[in-house]
């Protein structure tokens, strides 16, 4: 079997509302999740044992973070398929970690997809979904790799009307943020889930649709990492930026742009002022 490569695209929550809390402490969400055309790369090949090597611009951020979710995903898939977990896995890490754009979740989902192909395993969809959910609340949506309305704790996934072509500028102040800490710091009441209106025709209409939706974790994240407020301010005041929001539990924020020229110019302008920030432009992926 030849090696298999899968891109682990960055996950972006265009809006994220917290609608409740379960007795076990997990929060109920209502979120429009999309993927940006920038991510980590997962490559797997046949081997006599299970190993993971990592390189790439943000690989050093994984040091000292304990067990890697990629190996957890490989072992969980092998257990479910009742086969030995044998593969050489290589991860090229480009996304910041603990950053609200699903780096670890996307890597885990890419591992499940790549190893299913390498090992010739086809789990029933419900079993694969449950296995992904056990790895992390964002892993099921990362398996879908296309715009999705996410509910429950991340386990209720629904199709959304087609989204228009658009570009994103992702900006992270290079400060990691713990998801449980952000949920714990959240204050205020719960939002009501809002159905999505009809399909927006272009990026401007998408921004208008999102204008009255936000990210309910923003204030909590800013209370832990005040730089997020500066990132949002910088994006909001950048020419041609249609909308600026935080993704997930932060600290990565995104700006929405109509096209590549506007997004590239914005990313260059932000990088010129804040060279220490991680700042990338990427297309919004409308399909997997
Ligand atoms: O499932 P995952 O490991 O990604 O979640 C990390 C932590 O984030 C959970 O232990 C929980 O504290 C918090 N979380 C939450 N509600 C969600 C997702 C995550 O409270 N829907």
For the chain, percent of residues with pLDDT exceeding 90: 90
Q: Is 264 a catalytic residue?
A: no
Q: From the CA of 26, how far away is ligand 1's center (Å)? A: 6
Mean pLDDT of the chain: 95
Which among 139, 81, 92 is positioned nearest to 115, based on CA atoms?
81
Task: Give domain 4-158's CATH number out of 4.10.490.10, 3.30.230.10, 3.40.50.920, 3.40.309.10.
Answer: 3.30.230.10
Look at residue 61 in the predicted model and tell me its pLDDT: 83
Cα 265 to the chain's mean position, in Å? 23
Tell me the pLDDT tens digit for each residue of 14-68.
999 999 999 999 999 999 999 999 999 999 999 999 999 999 999 888 876 656 8
For the chain, percent of residues with pLDDT exceeding 70: 98
Residues 6+ apart with CB under 8 A from 44: 3, 4, 5, 87, 88, 89, 90, 111, 114, 115, 118
Which residues is 215 bridged to in the sheet?
A: 16
Which among 213, 203, 205, 248 is positioned nearest to 228, based on CA atoms?
248
Name the token pair of 285. 């992926």
Ligand 1 contact, 277 CB (< 6 A): no
Burial 91-111, CB ≥16 within 10 A → b, else e: bbbbbbbbbbbbbbbbbbbbb
Look at residue 158 in the predicted model and tell me its pLDDT: 95
Q: Which residues are annotated as a binding site for ATP?
A: 96-106
What are the sequence ranges of the domains in the chain? 4-158, 162-285
Is the reported ipTM for this assembly greater than 0.90?
A: yes
DSSP code of 165? P
What is the pTM (predicted TM-score) of this model?
A: 0.96
Tell me the pLDDT tens digit for each residue of 148-204.
999 999 999 999 989 999 999 999 999 999 999 999 999 989 999 888 877 899 999
CATH assignment, 162-285: 3.30.70.890
Ligand 1 atom with minimal separation from the 153 CA: 21
Q: Is 24 a catalytic residue?
A: no
């Amino acid at each position: 079997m030849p090696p298999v490569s899968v891109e682990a695209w960055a996950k972006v929550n265009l809006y994220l509302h917290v609608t409740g809390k379960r007795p076990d402490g997990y929060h109920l969400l209502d979120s429009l999740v999309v993927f940006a055309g920038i991510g980590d790369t997962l490559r797997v090949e046949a081997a006599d044992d299970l190993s993971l090597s990592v390189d790439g611009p943000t690989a050093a951020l994984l040091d000292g973070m304990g067990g890697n979710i990629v190996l957890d995903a490989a072992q969980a898939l092998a257990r479910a398929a009742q086969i030995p977990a044998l593969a050489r896995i290589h991860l090229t890490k480009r996304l910041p970690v603990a950053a609200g754009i699903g780096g670890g979740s996307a890597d885990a989902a890419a591992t499940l997809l790549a190893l299913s192909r390498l090992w010739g395993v086809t789990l029933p969809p419900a079993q694969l979904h449950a296995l992904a959910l056990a790895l992390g609340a964002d892993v099921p949506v990362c398996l879908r790799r296309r715009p999705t309305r996410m509910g429950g704790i991340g386990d209720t996934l629904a199709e959304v009307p087609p989204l228009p072509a658009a570009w994103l500028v992702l900006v992270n102040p290079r400060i990691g943020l713990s998801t449980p800490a952000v949920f714990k710091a959240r204050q205020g009441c719960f939002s009501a889930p809002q159905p999505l209106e009809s399909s927006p025709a272009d990026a401007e209409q998408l921004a208008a649709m999102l204008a009255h939706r936000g990210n309910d974790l923003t204030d909590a994240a800013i209370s832990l990492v005040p730089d997020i407020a500066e990132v949002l301010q910088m994006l909001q005041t950048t020419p041609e930026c249609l909308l600026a929001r935080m993704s997930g539990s932060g600290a990565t924020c995104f700006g929405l742009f109509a096209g590549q020229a506007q997004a590239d110019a914005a990313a260059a302008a932000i990088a010129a002022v804040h060279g220490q920030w991680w700042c990338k432009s990427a297309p919004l992926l409308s399909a997997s």
